Amino acid sequence: MSFHTIFEPFRIHSVEPLRMTTRDERRSAVRAAGFNLFALRSEDVLVDLLTDSGTGAMSRDQWAGIQRGDESYAGSPSWFRFLESVQVLFPFKHIIPTHQGRAAEKILFTAIAGPGKAIPNNTHFDTTRANVEFTGAEAVDLVIAEGLDPALEHPFKGNMDVLRLDEFLRTRGAPAVPAVFVTITNNSGGGQPVSLANLHEVREVCDRYGVPLFLDACRFAENAWFIREREPGQHDRDVADIVREMASLADGMTMSAKKDGLANIGGWLAMNDDDLAARCRSLLILTEGFPTYGGLAGRDLEAIAQGLREVVDHDYLRYRIRSTAYLGEALARRGVPVVQPIGGHAVYLDARGLLPHVPPLHYPGQSLAVALYEVGGIRGCEIGTVMFGRKPDGSEEPAAMDLVRLAIPRRTYTQSHIDYVIEVCADVAAHAGDLPGYRIIEEPPALRHFTARFEPDDGSHSPD
């Protein structure tokens, strides 16, 4: 294309109003929420970048699918349409529908993990880690060293360190490792992709030790697009074809359809192993439902079936990846420090870099996130010491990084919304030196970021 404007390959068919708020209203709302953005009413948010999970807009054809949903308990035509759509991309023998990704994880790890076992992954997403650890097994992250350096440019920062994986399997022994996982794209590592070459190498290591390979495939289409764009020899391929090659290297997968299923709810678990599938289906019936609907309504299965057809469209993926990069590049140009390179679904602001006067134990990420909300009604998510700082023994330590994630819901915001986000971030960054640190005045024993209450150190916003 000879033009540079990012062209949204859709036009708007139905609109949702955004309620405009004043800075004073937002200041009172965030104070009432204990300076925790999870406690806001979403109607008080102008641009909601808290997560890209289940927050995207569905297409006309997905809404038509919703109407067509058949709610028969067993063997519904909606199930068969879902099954066909999944298997076109992921031709695993057994497809087990679930209400979202973590339900697939819960079932799989209940079946294969347990005390004394370990699951290596490039980087476990937090629910994946929690589901592994809940069984008594160990969750081990083996991403390449480059993946841990926020400023370093590397085309595939989500790659698994295959030498460390080999060493891990050799020392632990295959019986203690029921599966190796690769997360595509690597969400907890900044939405960074994994190359096809790396997946082939991981497969070879798994074969050497006789250990199955599973994909945590939530953002598989974004990962495949990065492969097409960045990996030598892949540029002329159809994304669907790249996805099938990724699937052919694995023995199974877990999936949250709330991301690259382009749906608001849903997921699945897939595998080739008949025995494992039988055990997982028994667990599915206990908590999710009959194997032809899992935890979903027939209409949800239809929305996912259609979403999977749309997500591998090249025009969509070009727009998706380009528009995320547009936000990141514009912020970097304005001197706002961001994790490089820009990932597929989110831009990560380096709050520690921007607020050097706020020590990590005074939560620079929280301070920046609150300021973005107060100044412009933008809701991001602190990913730093608030989220990871409290240790199981009760002590508190700075996290490796203090970031604010701006996750972009799919097909939801226009370029003018994103231009507005850029303006607000630049304004907040220009006054970053004035932002206060925070202290926690109330926190639960675990996962404190969801419900903790805060107070600014400088008393500037003390509760009335």
Ligand X SMILES: Cc1ncc(COP(=O)(O)O)c(C=O)c1O
Contact window for ligand X (CB under 6 A) among 121-129, 288-296, 302-310, 346-354? 121-129
Nearest to ligand X of 100, 306 (CB atom): 100
Q: Which of 94, 102, 117, 228 binds ligand X (CB under 6 A)?
A: 102
Q: Does 122 bind ligand X (CB under 6 A)?
A: no
Give the x-and-dash track for 357-396 against ligand X (CB under 6 A): ----------------------------------------
Contact window for ligand X (CB under 6 A) among 42-50, 123-131, 170-178, 272-280? 123-131
Total residues at interface with ligand X (CB under 6 A): 14
Output the six-digit token pair for 410.
Answer: 């799919």
Give the x-and-dash track for 156-195 against ligand X (CB under 6 A): ---------------------------x---x--------
Contact 119, 183 (CB under 8 A): no
**Alpha-carbon dihedral angle through residues 226, 182, 191, 364, given to the nearest 10 degrees:** -160
Q: Does 127 bind ligand X (CB under 6 A)?
A: yes
Q: Which of 109, 125, 168, 268 binds ligand X (CB under 6 A)?
A: 125
Beta strands in 361-437 (DSSP E): 378-379, 381-383, 403-407
Residues in Cβ contact with 212 at an 8 Å cutoff, skipping those fewer than 6 apart: 178, 179, 180, 206, 251, 252, 273
- Among positions 53-72, residues that touch ligand X (CB under 6 A) are 53
Nearest to ligand X of 76, 187 (CB atom): 187
CA distance 459 to 442: 16
Q: Does 267 bind ligand X (CB under 6 A)?
A: yes
Shortest distance, CB of residue 141 to ligand X, whole angstroms? Answer: 13
CA distance 308 to 187: 20
Cα 228–Cα 232–Cα 237 angle in degrees, nearest 5: 35
Q: Does 128 bind ligand X (CB under 6 A)?
A: yes
- Among positions 237-256, residues that touch ligand X (CB under 6 A) are 256
For residue 232, give Cα distances in angstroms to 325, 342, 441, 449.
21, 20, 52, 41
Sign for the CA dihedral angle at 159, 164, 167, 173 comes to negative
Nearest to ligand X of 339, 440 (CB atom): 339
3-state DSSP percent of the chain in helix, strand and coil, to 5: 45, 15, 40
CA distance 296 to 268: 10
Contact 99, 304 (CB under 8 A): no
**Cβ atoms < 10 Å from Cβ of 131:** 26
Q: Which of 76, 78, 85, 100 binds ligand X (CB under 6 A)?
A: 100
Contact window for ligand X (CB under 6 A) among 98-106, 169-177, 360-368, 370-378? 98-106
Residues in Cβ contact with 282 at an 8 Å cutoff, skipping those fewer than 6 apart: none
Q: Does 216 bind ligand X (CB under 6 A)?
A: yes
Nearest to ligand X of 228, 258 (CB atom): 258
How many residues are recorded in the chain? Answer: 464
CA distance 316 to 310: 8
Contact window for ligand X (CB under 6 A) among 84-92, 108-116, 124-132, 194-202? 124-132
Q: Does 101 bind ligand X (CB under 6 A)?
A: yes
Query: Which position's Cβ is nearest ligand X?
Result: 101
Residues in touch with ligand X (CB under 6 A): 53, 100-102, 125, 127-128, 183, 187, 216, 218, 256, 258, 267
